[in-house]
Amino acid sequence: MNLNQVTLPVKDMDEAAAFYRRMGFLQIVDSPHYARFECPEGESTFSLSLESGEFANGSVIYFEYEQLDELVDGLVAKGFAFDQMPTDMGYLWREAVLHDPSGNKIKLFWAGENRLNPPWRVERRD
């Protein structure tokens, strides 16, 4: 199996879609209630779904980029506000944190080899 996409809830589709396009994603589906984006590298996609009621999304979406510090500097120059600038984490990832206009948490990170093969890796199947 392979992960197809993740869908985030949003309060305002136009505002949210513009936010992700400004981050550098290519919008490939555009409707009043749904938008889908291609990541600049690889074949991953993610989407946005318009929610009419109140919601709280506890999920976190991660986007990986090797030149993390340069990416964050470029986004800050475009006016993006970060809750956490690039920081080396105890789990061997370097990550920055921001939120989209609907409050969805985004982590931009680089983990290199530790992404799939951290020192504590296990392999379990049933």
Encoded tokens for 64: 């990986």
Nearest Cα to Cα of residue 31 among 43, 47, 55: 47
Write the CATH number of the domain with boundaries 5-113: 3.10.180.10
Phi and psi angles of residue 124, each rounded to the nearest 5 degrees, phi first: -130, 135
Domain map (residue ranges) of the chain: 5-113
CB–CB of 13/33 below 8 Å?
Answer: yes
Half-sphere exposure of 108 (CA within 13 A, CB side): 28
Distance CA 121, CA 30 (A): 39
pLDDT at position 3 over 90: no
Nearest Cα to Cα of residue 85 among 62, 67, 94, 66: 94
**pLDDT at residue 4, as a whole number:** 86
Enter the pTM of the model.
Answer: 0.93
**pLDDT at residue 123, as a whole number:** 94
DSSP string across 13-26: HHHHHHHHHHHTPE
- pLDDT one-digit tens code per residue, 85-125: 999 999 999 999 999 999 999 999 999 999 999 999 999 99
Phi and psi angles of residue 75, each rounded to the nearest 5 degrees, phi first: -70, -40
